[in-house]
Every structure is written in C-alpha cells, then in structure tokens.
Amino acid sequence: MKVGFIGLGNMGGPMAANLAAAGHTVTGFDLAAPCPEGVTAATSGAEAASGADVVITMLPNGAILRAVAAEIHPAMAAGAVHLDCSTVDVDSARAVADAAQTAGLSAVDAPVSGGVGGAAGGTLTFMAGGSEEAFAKVSPLFDVMGQKAVHCGDAGAGQAAKICNNMILGITMIGTCEAFALADKLGLDRQKMFDVVSTSSGYSWSMNAYCPAPGVGPNSPADNGYQPGFAADLMLKDLRLSQQAAEAVDADTPMGQAATALYERFVEAEDGAGKDFSAMLPRFEKRGRG
Ligand code: NAD
C-alpha cells in the first residue's frame, strides 16, 4: 500500500519503520523528528498525504490533529482513508471523521495500547472506530504494526474505548500502590502481598503484569528506577481526556476524577514528571494520612 505517515515521534517513528520494512511504500513528515529508515521524507504533511491509499497520523493532541487534518484532507486522493492512531478527545475524533466524509474520504480513529515497546516490536493493540469498510481497508496495516485490532464501533468509538481502559488503569495503579504502602506499614512482606493479591480478587494488570513494587512480580519499570514505561505525564493526559468526556456526556466518574486529581498533583506539584506512572508507590511510601 502507499502510506503517508505524519508524526514520527516515539510511537510514530517505529510504527512507520515497521510498515516500510513490511514492504509498504511509506512517505513521512514530522516538524522535528527524523524520518526512520526505509521511509521517504516529505517536506509537508500535504506532500506526505498526496496520492496515498492510507494516511496515518500519530500526533500529540486533538487540536494538532484537527489542524493537520485540515491541511492534509484536500491533498488526499478520493476514497483514501485517514487513520488516526493518536490518543485524542472523542469530539476531535468525530470532527475529523466528519471532515473526512465531507472531503470524500473515510476516517478511522485507532488509538493504541502497548507503548513504545509495542510500537517498536509491532505488537500494539488497536481500538478502532469507523465504518466496516474503512476498518477492513486499514486492517493489513494493523497486522504489521500490532498483534490485535478491535473494531469498537462508529467514529470516536476507538477513543472512547481507550480512555475508558486508561481510566481503569490509572485507578487500579493508584489502588495497587496505596495497598502496597498500607501493607508495608502493617508489616506485611511485599512478596507475600504479591503472591496473595495476584491470585486473589484484588488482582489486576497493574499488580500482575506491571507490579509497582521493585523486585516483586515480573520485570517492570519499578525494577529500573521508575524510568518509563508509561510516563505519569501520559497517564495524566489520558485521565484528563476521560474527565473531559465524562463532563461532555454527564457521566459520574468519582474514581476517575480522584485519579486525575492525584496524577495532576504528582506530575505538576510533586516529583512525578518524567517518571513512570507506577512511581505512585514511592510517593505513598513517604506519606501518612495527613
Ligand atoms: P511524541 O511527542 O514523541 O511524537 C509526536 C510527534 O508529532 C513529534 O515528533 C512532533 O514533532 C510531531 N508533530 C507535532 N505537530 C506536528 C505537525 N503539525 N505536523 C507533523 N508532525 C507534528 O509523542 P508519542 O509518544 O509518539 O505519542 C504520540 C501519540 O500516541 C500521542 O497521542 C500519545 O498520547 C499516544 N500514545 C503514546 C504512548 C507512549 O507510550 N508514548 C502510548 C500510547 C499512546
């Protein structure tokens, strides 16, 4: 396939490289990041998009996505698909899908789970929103960049699934960290705590696969000085998107709200910026109830 790829950062760079390595013709553009091996550099987003069957965007936020969409849609060939893999607000995903339709194109919103490791290894999970036809057209690209793609529904459904998943993740990570800190103070050995909880009803991905306690459970960022991994800053971004969405549809999400406030404090007023999101555990260790 002829693929345009806009946004070649930590995630987009390796995703574009994997598509090129699999034999697709990839033309890329980024304002700052270099073009990975096998990808032809364009001098603008419109140039990267022109003549492509599918144009992928992997950008920081919804405002940038909307601006890039306005630039590239007029340059795209009739019937081409705009596949956005960024994590953005549901409204931006739907606005971009509407704009694509007006321009005679189709759109798929397909945010990812799996982080930089998944992007490099081609093992991402995609959660996609858009028509059956557009989903089918981009599926061969999902097969290269990831190990699983779930078609969640119409435009915006991929972003909805992503922010709901990550709201759960933020909440369970905080719960896991505060439970470890409580267990410490109760004199419970961390390994015993893991052995019990990981096979009992308190288990979760945060405990079992990404344990925030160093030296316990499978290897995780806790074993590497809390280097991300999945940065607390990105968790805060996703939690904020969940709260923006909850506000828009009048959904009651008290735990999501509390998790957002806690990560906000951790990243903006404490020492959480640049650390993995599981570094909530040393944060709780230092504190009492006051
Ligand atoms: P990044 O900041 O490394 O990459 C974004 C790139 O977009 C940058 O290289 C930037 O120069 C480029 N860019 C910005 N505006 C542009 C424009 N107008 N035209 C062309 N390029 C432009 O970010 P990332 O970590 O690659 O994340 C990308 C998206 O993936 C985000 O929405 C993020 O939330 C999501 N995501 C990231 C991770 C992760 O672990 N990093 C995991 C899942 C999802």
**What six digits make up the tokens of 179?**
């439970």
What would the pLDDT profile of 186-221 be if each residue is shown by its tens digit? 999 999 999 999 999 999 999 999 999 999 999 999
Looking only at the bridges linking them, the beta strands covering 124-129 and 146-153 are: parallel
On whether the CB atoms of residues 126 and 110 are closer than 8 A, the answer is yes
The class level of CATH for 2-153 reads alpha beta
Enter the pTM of the model. 0.94
Nearest Cα residue to 154 out of 119, 127, 174, 176: 127
Q: Phi and psi dihedrals of 33, rounded to 5? A: -70, 145
CA–CA dist 150, 57 (Å, integer) = 19
From 162, 185, 237, 275, active-site residue: 162
CA of 97 to the centre of ligand 1 (A): 20
Mean pLDDT over 277-284 rounds to 97
**Catalytic (active site) residue 275:** no
- Per DSSP, 276 falls in state B
d(CA 81, CA 2): 11
Domain 160-286: CATH superfamily, name plus number: N-(1-d-carboxylethyl)-l-norvaline Dehydrogenase; domain 2 (1.10.1040.10)
- Average pLDDT on 227-250 reads 96
What are the tens digits of pLDDT across the range 72-116?
A: 999 999 999 999 999 999 999 999 999 999 999 999 999 999 988
Q: Where are the domains of the chain?
A: 2-153, 160-286
Ligand 1 centre to CA of 9 (Å) is 5
Which of 6, 27, 30 has most ligand 1 atoms within 8 Å of its beta carbon, as the pocket-test mutant? 30
86 Cα: distance to centroid of ligand 1 (angstroms): 7
- The answer to whether 2-153 and 160-286 have equal CATH topology is no
Q: What is the pLDDT of residue 133?
A: 98
Q: Is residue 104 a contact partner of residue 74, using CB atoms and an 8 Å limit? A: no
What angle do the packed helices 232-249 and 157-185 form, to 10 degrees?
120
Ligand 1 atom nearest the C-alpha of 33 is 9
CA of 129 to the centre of ligand 1 (A): 20
Which residues line ligand 1 at a C-beta cut-off of 6 Å? 6-12, 29-33, 45, 58-60, 64, 68, 86-87, 112, 115-116, 230, 234, 237
The string of pLDDT tens digits covering residues 129-138 is 999 999 999 9
Q: Name the average pLDDT for the chain.
A: 97
